[in-house]
Structure 1
Amino acid sequence: MSQLHPTLAEVTTRIVERSAPTRTAYLDRIRQAADRGPARGRLACANLAHGFAASDAPAKQALRGRTKPNVAIVSAYNDMLSAHQPFEAFPAVLKKSVIRAGGIAQFAGGVPAMCDGITQGRDGMQLSLYSRDVIAMSTAIALSHDMFDGALMLGVCDKIVPGLLIGALSFGHLPTVFVPAGPMTSGLPNGEKARIRQLYAEGKVGRDELLEAEAASYHSAGTCTFYGTANSNQLIMEVLGLHLPGSSFVNPGTPLREALTRAAGERVTAITPQGGESTPIGEIVDEKAIVNACVALLASGGSTNHTMHLVAIARAAGIVLTWDDLSDLSAVVPSLCRIYPNGQADVNHFQAAGGIGFLVHTLLRAGLLHEDVRTIAGHGLWRYTTEPRLRGSELTWEEGPKASLDLDVLRPADDPFAPDGGLRMLSGPLGRAVIKTSAVKPEHRSVTAPAVVFDHQDDFLAAFGDGALDGRDFVAVIRYQGPAANGMPELHKLTPALGVLQDRGQHVALVTDGRMSGASGKVPAAIHVTPEAALGGALARIHDGDLVTVDAETGLLDVHVERAELAAREATGGAPQGADWAGTGRELFAAFRATVGTADTGASVFPGVAVPQQEVPLVQHA
């Protein structure tokens, strides 16, 4: 492999040094847990009897003994969400494969799984980001019975995989394999779907035409095929070494998908202490693995949500990752993928062009990934340059492609789409923010225009519908959308309207303390602004007409108001309170609003998850 890129080496070194106290404490904790031997061997007889009371006779006999590993299955299955519907049949398949491999498995618990695509623009979206930490806690509860020697995690989408991973890392002594379900087959091309959405926003087509286009795009079981958070999750989990190589983007219901599911059960059994290849998840997710995940996100133009999720995941493993680390990596990691919304292809096209195997291969050759890491497949990331193949009924891994099969979708590191990553960090008097540039044309990456200020996306959409935004340049400031204000909802519904205005020749941009995720498309959007308006950030003091600059090229987020004047202004607007923060379950999450951390520290409600309080304090507020 090539010599490691000096920036990659420097960023990794400073993460290691910064994280030394918390990573050491984390490793000490999980190693002490592992040293105590098989989990169920520590249970009293009554406890253990409760643990296998519902099992059949062979399972009871196996669980009485102390030689066979017992594997927990934790699933995000529900049959409403296309990405998670295939998981219905997985537990039975996994139990059989674990038994064949010499272990025993129990379904330990389920976790909630909500869909941002369904809750877009609805009150339920205000629970979306919080659901990640609920899932982490649910995972911990599922694993809390001290019955298990390994774990299988079944999840795909937005907050589900990060939540499962954070929960699994709290039991970091357990070997853990994540089991994907795969993307749906390609439907209506994503570009056509976006065109119909924009026509609907302009009132040129009706709801029937819009629904027909959406149904043709999201048409079957499996993950949505655009490159949002769900598919970014899958790519990152594979590069972290927590999926089987080449398993992320194999379609549901295919013989290869079924073989990979069986293989996941066999593999988790092998990497338990009793299986002879003990590989705890907390040892896999180390500083090098986290840097690898960041590089994969940047090279592929992945979801902006992971600027928060990766920070939270890292800290669950005792590792302190910052936005500055991501920014410095983005400056040297080339953009190698064009997957919608960064291009016209979907993840099935990416898979056909060479997929993760080729992406890992070319990044390793360029010195942009750490090869010397542990994975569930064994030592060394080179294993993830291979592809699974069925030869008759036998599953094998063979060398993956060493050249892209479609240069319009996937490029080698020495011939990239762009020399730097698709994510950049902005800073200035308005705070710090993230911007996704991979789908923004160069001529749109810098906008200076008067602010139009809204405290809710519906107010912006109403102004758009009334024609109040026609014929002028502006920067839309949508504030009080941060974690502490209302749970930081995604603001996907803004994209078609802003796209219409940009296509008419207006210079427009978005500034918000909310999220956009994979919907961050062709309009420049400074998102995750920190500090958020609800916690006294400068967004709370922006007025209509203030001149604002969003410049992705220079990394500037500015308001052209004298600093003293801006600081002296009274905050206007406000986060929802009282009856405005009730209904659809929102009132149950008041404690989350009161303790959630900032976007740049992972937007977590867990105080001090592997982070020294004096170094990265969580914000406490009413």
Structure 2
Amino acid sequence: MTDLNPAVAAVTARIVERSKPSRDRYLALVAAARDRGSERGNLACGNLAHGFAAAGEDKPAIRAGNAMNIGIVTAYNDMLSAHQPYGGYPDRMKLWAREVGATAQVAGATPAMCDGVTQGQPGMELSLFSRDTIALSTAVALSHGMFESAALLGICDKIVPGLLIGALRFGHLPMILVPAGPMPSGLANKEKQRIRQLYAEGKVGRAELLESESASYHGAGTCTFYGTANSNQMMMEVMGLHMPGAAFVNPGTKLRQAVTRAAVHRLAAIGWDGDDYRPLGRCVDEKAIVNACVGLLATGGSTNHAIHIPAIARAAGIVIDWEDLDRLSAAVPLIARVYPNGSGDVNHFQAAGGMAWVIATLLDAGMLHRDIMTVAGRDLRDYAADPVLAEDGEALAWRPAPDAPLDQAMLRPVADPFLPDGGMRLVRGNLGRGTMKTSAVDPARWTIEAPARIFSDQDQVLAAFKAGELERDVVVVVRFQGPRANGMPELHKLTPPLGVLQDKGWRVALVTDGRMSGASGKVPAAIHVSPEALGGGPLARLRDGDVVRVSGDDGTLDVAVSAEEWAARVPAPPPPAPLGTGRELFAFMRHGADDAEKGGSAMLAAMEEVA
């Protein structure tokens, strides 16, 4: 077995030591739940009768209590393309459960918000807190005590983190994440990006833009760019929470159906009544969390996970911070280029070797923890394989990863990477701490020092751009976008106009306490800045014309103002609290949210107070 990379080992040890008190409390919770035995067996007759009243032909088996009952937690809706395929999953999963002497019931549903629909709209201000809502919905679904394991059906941005956070509070149950796969490739990503920039410049109209977008997002399945949704799927693979190779098999194929069937069969095999018990709370340990970080960095994944990984970890009693990510980024090379970090999408990535090759090469280089408890196989090495159907088109098997990537424009070996580091930097200074994703940015633009222009929302930025007020070297600051201010929306619609300014030769950067997601592109950006502006964070003291330095080279985020003047400045007042589109219903989540570096969650902050 290859020795673990020293930097990966050191960060893991740092996390283990820091997390020991909270992790011990969490494992005690898992053990206590396990010691209580099957909760279904402890239900009163009236409780149990309610639970199987509508179970049809599964009713006798659930009533007898001799078969594992699999709870299905589904994030199905048919507006969200990635989740539309889930509509037919429960009925098929019940059939597959019966094949191995088990039963299955839909335990409950969760919301499934599409950030692609809400980008730049008022609904985006509910997006981050939809994660906590999904976690709460998952807990409600599993609270009935009717299940000995669970299948978690979710893919997209806040949905997988939310499912995991909720499910980890039932960590004594074995669980498997069940994806549905990406849609087939549509319009080339570079062409889509070109049309967006032309629209931002007023050179094409809405009809041409809509035609381009419709050719990109054209059918059932996950969007094919490497944003948060597909980064989620990568993480589930390197954490060992999928069936091996499940991430990027297209929906509606026989192979996708076979992999999902295998997940149901596997859930029946890893319950506590057998000799291969694999509870979720033991699968998600410090090593699995580090693997998620390494996978994120090695593949150039979404910056949203700088918020989601700490939140998932906290639900399992594990404490990580951006310093951990920064140290790993310095050691982990970038070995994948998937749009927006490259030209090809996740289907091209899969064809080039995909997750099987990524896991194999990172294990061989000592970058991943092999010795984790996965939901399938002996250890993570079993995930260095692709699912395939036998010649009869029915039997499922796994073939080893290719010896080398099949397209070196998509994948590179660790010894010859695209970049020597993972390209997700911690930037810090007198403006706070933030995340900077450098992997998609020209290294010549990693450091920007220019006068600031201050805004309180992204529509103000667009208005200034259209008026020609940003035609200069500028650091665009968009503040009051943090969790407590307005729910920390993504500011993705700023990418085209800032890209236009950069293409004109100006030195441009973005600084914000909001998010930019995995769709952030070629413009340097310091995002998630904490403390956020609301409540007197440093961004609230900035003024137009202050010279701001943002550097991914030396990790600085500073303003050139004397300490005396800085201390004397009165923080700017925040804009009015957001109302409409249901935003006022989430006021309690905004008011209680903690810093982005901790996950930006009111729910987890409150949980730790009572844990």
| Paired amino acid for 2:588 | A
Residue 606 (structure 1) aligned with residue 606 (structure 2): no
Aligned to 1:452: 453
Q: Is the 8 A contact 1:318 1:609 kept in 2?
A: no
Report the 3-state secondary structure (helix = DSSP H, G, I; strand = E; otherwise coil) of the residue aligned with 1:493: helix
> For each residue in 1:84-119, what CA deviation from the matched residue of structure 2 results, as whole angstroms up to 9, or x when unmatched?
000001111111111111111100100001111111
State the secondary structure of the residue aligned to 1:536: coil
- Residues 34 and 173 of structure 1 are in contact (CA less than 8 Å); yes or no, is this contact kept in structure 2? yes
CA distance in 1, matches of 2:327, 2:575: 33
Deviation at 1:259, TM superposition (A): 0.7
Mapped to 2, the partners of 1:292 and 1:576 lie a distance apart of: 41
* Paired residue secondary structure (2:104): strand
CA distance in 2, matches of 1:293, 1:593: 27
The alignment status of 1:469 with 2:470, answered yes or no, reads yes
Note the C-alpha offset of 1:575: 3.8
Q: Secondary structure at the match of 2:485?
A: helix
C-alpha displacement at 1:277, in angstroms?
A: 1.8
Confirm whether residue 554 of structure 1 aligns to residue 554 of structure 2: yes
Following TM superposition, the consecutive aligned residue runs of length 4 or more in structure 1 with deviations greater than 6 angstroms are none
| One-letter amino acid of the structure 2 residue matched with residue 460 of structure 1 | V
In 1: Cα distance, 2:319 partner to 2:93 partner? 34
Contact (CA 8 Å) 1:317, 1:610: kept in 2 or not?
no
1:422 is displaced (CA, Å) by 2.0
Q: Kindly provide the amino acid, as one letter, of the partner of residue 523 in structure 2.
A: V
Alignment of 1:66-465 (within 5 A): 66-391=65-390, 392=392, 393-465=394-466
**3-state SS of 2:477 partner:** strand
Are residues 1:596 and 2:579 paired?
no
- Give the conservation status (yes or no) of the 8 Å contact 2:97–2:268: yes
Greater Cα offset, 269-278 or 310-319: 269-278
SS in 1 for 2:416: coil
Partner of 1:503: 503
Distance 2:443 2:224 in 1: 26
How far apart, in 1, do the equivalents of 2:460 and 2:605 lie? 37
1:415-470: per-residue Cα shift (whole Å, max 9, x none)? 10011002111000000000111110011111100000000100010010111112
Question: Is the 1:318–1:611 Cα contact (8 Å) retained in structure 2?
Answer: no
Q: How does 1:554-593 map to 2 (within 5 A)?
A: 554-577=554-577, 581-593=578-590
CA positional deviation for 1:72: 0.3
- How many residues matched? 609
Q: Distance in 2 between matches of 1:92 and 1:475?
A: 53
1:567 to partner: Cα distance: 2.0
Shift of 1:612: 7.4
Which residue identity is paired with 1:322? Answer: D
CA distance, structure 1, for counterparts of residue 551 and residue 428 of structure 2: 10
Hey, what's the Cα distance between the residues in 2 that align with 1:179 and 1:211? 32
Partner residue of 1:530?
530
Query: What is the rounded CA distance, in whole Å, between the counterparts of 1:151 and 1:500 in structure 2?
Result: 47
Shift of 1:293: 0.6
Q: 2:488 and 2:573 mapped to 1: Cα distance? A: 16
The answer to whether the Cα contact below 8 Å between 2:307 and 2:600 also exists between their aligned partners in 1 is yes
Gaps of 5+ in 1: 615-622
**Residues 330, 168 of structure 1: alpha-carbon distance in 2 compared, 3 angstrom cutoff:** same
Q: How far 1:576 moved relative to its partner? A: 2.8
Residue pair 1:316, 1:609 contacting (<8 A) in 2 also: no
- Percentage of identical aligned residues: 61
Alpha-carbon distance in structure 1 between the residues aligned to 2:212 and 2:274: 49
Compute the displacement of 1:67 (Å): 1.9
Asked if 1 retains the 8 angstrom alpha-carbon contact of 2:299 and 2:336, the reply is yes
- 1:613 Cα deviation (Å)? 9.2
Deviation for aligned residue 1:15: 0.7
TM-score (norm 2): 0.98
Shift of 1:610: 7.2
Cα distance between partner residues in 1 of 2:610 and 2:478? 31
Q: Partner of 1:374: helix, strand, or coil?
A: coil
Instruction: Report the alpha carbon displacement of residue 536 of structure 1 after superposing the two structures with TM.
Output: 1.0
- Counterpart-to-counterpart distance in 2, 1:563 and 1:351: 52
Counterparts in 2 of 1:536-547, with a 5 A limit? 536-547=536-547
SS of equivalent to 1:216: helix
Contact 1:358 1:404 in 2 (8 A): yes
Q: Give the Cα–Cα distance (whole angstroms) in 2 for the partners of residues 610 and 343 of structure 1.
A: 40
Q: Is the 8 A contact 2:179 2:247 kept in 1?
A: yes
* Secondary structure of residue in 2 paired with 1:331: helix
Alignment of 1:474-489 (within 5 A): 474-489=474-489
- SS of the equivalent of 1:162 reads helix
| Aligned AA (1:463) | A
- Give the C-alpha shift of residue 585 in structure 1: 0.3
Q: How far is the alpha carbon of 1:538 from its aligned partner? A: 0.8
Q: CA deviation at 1:211?
A: 0.3
Partners of 1:478 and 1:213 in 2: CA distance: 28
CA contact (8 A) 1:510 1:525 kept: yes
The two structures have a TM-score, normalised by structure 1, of 0.97
Structure 1 residues 509-551: Cα deviation after superposition (integer angstroms, max 9, x where no partner): 0000000011221000000000000021110010000000011
- Write the distance in 1 (CA, Å) between the matches of 2:223 and 2:274: 36
Give the superposition deviation at 1:608.
Answer: 4.3
Tell whether the 8 Å contact from 2:69 to 2:104 is kept in structure 1 after alignment: yes
Query: Match for 1:468: what amino acid?
Result: E
